[in-house]
Structure 1
């Protein structure tokens, strides 16, 4: 891949990292300030805060590894640094995926309404369900790491770097091992999120059919809660699908000799999920949405204030009204 395309994808990745860090940073900052003020934090805010922190670290890891692979391709492969970074990326990525899945499951159990004894049992034991979800995650993560590290030595010896610093692979079976493992293990949280979304949609459908019975005001409030959560989950599922599709494409491109362009595209697509999903969560949360709007207004006023200071140093504008 030529230098122009490298620069293009570097800019794209950098923008995605900036957008993602800003959105995730708002989530962390707002929830920490709320914790300091009220001395407590809700379960959903705990999930969102942990999700945002994991994604901030993940985004920076991806950006740094991209720069290293671009400027030091030889050392990147021969010293096995890529395997270490890949293991770190796998861990952070799996944490991010399962936290997003936990958020979907939590919203489903809190909002949905089914006259089923199993659902009722799970609904009144949300914390135990979250604990069980994370136990399953840790088991799958451990298995995923074992698959990666078991082939570490084989992978390093199978790579060679030619004079043009382009990476060639002798054994294509080893080359697709890492992306294939992440695709398989990434499909599980994606499937769980998709099932919770479909069940929540079915719950709303059943609710709409019964709206002409009972108290109308209570029914309307429940329907609004369903719709609000579904709007967030729809955008989440779409971004999740793009992420999962990028993993599938990466497995396919691993079988090709000239694959650097497609690999770069899949890399940009993978980063879109942890980057843009933070803003989906912000738009779906009234507290986070209000805080982000205040922050954007403050930044806009600061920009105007600095511009006016340059034009007319004696004029000071935007005052205290711009403070979030």
Structure 2
């Protein structure tokens, strides 16, 4: 185990993972701080800002809990104490993971409904009520996902507690604690994946159709509206690509195919952190308020230096 941890390839992967984790923590922490500050000043928070806050906060806590899990995994001197700690960490990790997934999905649906236009009565009705419906649907999604998963966690912990675990067994079972309800986890991710990808594809199709119409109407390619549409499409495509990699990596980790701490498992950990890091950068660069705040902070730092 020690030789694998200290190999050059694994050290390189740990460095990449560390860099992405820091970027993810800074990016998501910045989004949470900025929107929360604005909410404290105005006392109001739009549906979009609410989802951005829950997404960035859950990802921040998810990244933090994952980082805290590594030293616990590689240092387990007291099985009874650390097993209880791992049980608490696993439920917390799962809650943050589910919250981040549904936040991203409903944020994609919100953007899709607001931007796209389809000649459909239900769509028109949804468009006028999406701001009220999305927070409620998000809360229902997270609550149902956690509630239906908790019995599986409880049964798993009770079964393991009834056994006389050795230190080796506890170490080997660490990665299993995070993915006790495998079938339910797969089902939740499948539903989430379907909704998120569908919303993203509809948004891309609408933006592409609108951009093509602008070009056919004789508006130059360098027109500001066209460039904005193209920039948004690139951002959505990049997010969709990273999201697919995230779900694929999560399913591989959930299926327990890759052993914890191995180089191939570290690749999946890197892909999981990449979505959180890159998506936070995309959200900051495409949100006028967050972009303005980040530019202001960077200017202050430049003056200070």
TM over 0.5: yes
CA separation of 1:275 and 1:194: change in aligned 2, threshold 3 A? same
Aligned to 1:187: 190
Aligned to 2:145: 140
Aligned residue among 68, 74, 94 for 1:70: 74
Aligned to 2:279: 277
TM-superposed deviation, 1:257: 7.0
Distance 2:154 2:224 in 1: 51
Per-residue displacement from partner, 1:249-270 (whole Å, max 9, x unpaired)? 2245x25679733333322322
Aligned-residue RMSD, C-alpha: 3.5
Distance 2:230 2:167 in 1: 53
Per-residue displacement from partner, 1:79-137 (whole Å, max 9, x unpaired)? 34323211110101111111111211111111111111121111111134312343133
CA separation of 1:168 and 1:57: change in aligned 2, threshold 3 A? closer
Matched, 1:121 2:125: yes
CA separation of 1:177 and 1:97: change in aligned 2, threshold 3 A? same
Q: In 1, are the aligned partners of 2:242 and 2:275 still within 8 Å (CA)?
A: yes
Distance 2:107 2:183 in 1: 26
Counterpart of 1:125 in 2: which secondary structure? helix
Distance 1:91 1:54 in 2: 8
Distance 1:202 1:234 in 2: 11
Q: Which has the larger radius of gyration?
A: 1
Q: In 2, are the aligned partners of 1:204 and 1:226 still within 8 Å (CA)?
A: yes
Give the aligned length.
Answer: 296
Per-residue displacement from partner, 1:26-66 (whole Å, max 9, x unpaired)? 21232233334445333212221222222222221111111
Moved over 6 A (4+): 173-176, 256-259
Per-residue displacement from partner, 1:140-171 (whole Å, max 9, x unpaired)? 22112322222222345386434xx99446xx
Q: Which has the higher contact order (CA 8 A, sep 6+)?
A: 2
Counterpart of 1:81 in 2: which secondary structure? helix
Aligned to 2:157: 152
Q: How does 1:2-13 map to 2 (within 5 A)?
A: 2-5=4-7, 8=12, 10-13=14-17
Matched, 1:31 2:46: no
In structure 1, runs of 5+ residues without a counterpart are 305-324
Distance 1:167 1:281 in 2: 38
Per-residue displacement from partner, 1:281-313 (whole Å, max 9, x unpaired)? 1111122123223323433443x3xxxxxxxxx
Q: In 2, are the aligned partners of 1:183 and 1:244 still within 8 Å (CA)?
A: no
Aligned to 1:79: 83
Q: How does 1:84-103 map to 2 (within 5 A)?
A: 84-103=88-107
Distance 1:262 1:102 in 2: 31
In structure 2, runs of 5+ residues without a counterpart are none
Aligned to 1:111: 115
Matched, 1:249 2:252: yes
